[in-house]
Amino acid sequence: MQITKEKIQQAINILNEKNIDAWMIFTRESSNVKDPSLDIVVGSGCTWHSAFIITKNGDTIAILGSLDVANVKQKGLYNEVIGYVKNIKDDLLNVLNRLKPQKIALNFSRNSSIADGLTYGMYLELMDILKGSGFENKIISSEEIISALRGRKTQTEISKMKFAIAETLKIFDEVTKFIKVGITEKEVNQFVLNLVRQKGYETAWDENQCPAVFTGPDNAGAHADPTDRKIDHGHILNLDFGLKIDGYCSDLQRTWYILKPDEINPPEEVLKGFNTIIEAVELAAKALKPGVLGWKIDKIAREHIVNNGYEEYPHALGHQIGKVAHDGGGLLAPKWERYGNLPFIPVEKDQVYTIEPRLTVPNYGVATVEDMVQVTDDGCIFISEPQKEIYLVRC
């Protein structure tokens, strides 16, 4: 509960910073449809219609079905816990009339999935409850609040992420020993998953694609399940993999080259592709600091890759990470329509980003590295030990 307490206090600070009177999570049956913010500032689920309210004055109020009251009270996170039996309307209106908020932030967003936890059905329910009270006209999106709250990591959160990173890198070391000609992408995937289960951890995203495994030219590409494609001499092989440990994630990618029997070093074109990626990561990290817009960091890496003769990568340079692999609001992303306003959100201190450019080396495969950085007062630091040289496999 320590992190939840830290995040509730952080939420109060953010409400004051942005001059928003109250933030309300309005939800139900969280085991079926879970608002992402519950894990951050509530720490438990709910069954009936429930409202969790945090105000800039420091009020923390939970209004929920009577059978959920004991559970929330036991956690000691909310100063006022109100239970109802027949309906939530009267208690909710009483609380709002007492607080008199001029701005009520709700979890809906057109840009960010983590700030879009309020279902349309629950929105309609809430509008019926508020109808005629005047509060229905004071609704705003909580996107700014959630973006800041999930993005600004506490030291406790950073510590947990560093542990997940360290364990992920240990598994990559085991993969290096396991790789050999003739085994398939699926076999590598299963080898990693067996290690994860032996250690009692969970993957940072769906196991079908965690790890994602790509070997050689003409592979299935990002976000595809591992296939029966066999590893062979002269292949570039890469893995996209992360762990979730004690509620916090890592997300890293590493690249190997499978030496041909007569090779001591990779071909020049493989080294050039890999080194171009490393240079792009270093250039982006050097420019990443509080206040800069995400698209500007993406542009630095993207232009470096294109200027070296490669096609631009078809995705963002990096995303925030924390409770889930894709966390926080702002992205290190190009100004493409699909990303909405996310590339234009300024970078903030204590956010954690991945940096993950990629490029295709014709006839060999995809070179990519993904590392994690924490934004500091005037720059950023790597919290994962970055890959600097391509891993070589001789078999």
Residue 1, token pair as written in the block: 């509960």
Q: How far apart are CA 68 and CA 60, in angstroms?
A: 16
> Does residue 215 contact residue 189 with C-beta atoms inside 8 Å?
no
Mean pLDDT value across residues 166-186? 97
pLDDT digits (tens, 9 = 90+) for 35-94: 999 999 998 899 999 999 999 999 999 999 999 999 999 999 999 999 999 999 999 999
Residue 186: φ, ψ to 5°: -60, -40
pTM over 0.85: yes
The model's confidence at residue 220, banded by pLDDT at 50, 70 and 90, is low
pLDDT of residue 218: 81
* Mean pLDDT value of segment 95-99: 98
Q: Which CATH class is domain 2-150?
A: alpha beta
Mean pLDDT for the stretch of residues 255-280: 97
Task: Note the pLDDT tens digit of each residue in 8-23.
Answer: 999 999 999 999 999 9
Residues whose CB is less than 8 angstroms from the CB of residue 392 and which lie 6 or more positions away in sequence, other chains included = 256, 257, 259, 265, 266
Q: State the pLDDT at residue 2.
A: 87
Look at residue 318 and tell me whether its pLDDT is greater than 80: yes
State the pLDDT at residue 380.
98
**Into which CATH architecture does domain 152-393 fall?**
Alpha-Beta Complex (3.90)
- pLDDT score of 213: 96
Residue 219 has pLDDT above 80, yes or no: no
Q: Which residues contact 188 (CB under 8 A, 6 or more apart)?
A: 175, 178, 179, 211, 213, 226, 231, 239
Ordered by start, the domain boundaries in the chain are 2-150, 152-393
Residue 381 pLDDT level (bands cut at 50, 70, 90): very high
Instruction: Compute the distance between CA of residue 154 and CA of residue 156 in angstroms, rounded to an integer.
Output: 5
Exposed, middle or buried: residue 262 (CB in 10 Å: 0-12, 13-18, 19+)? exposed
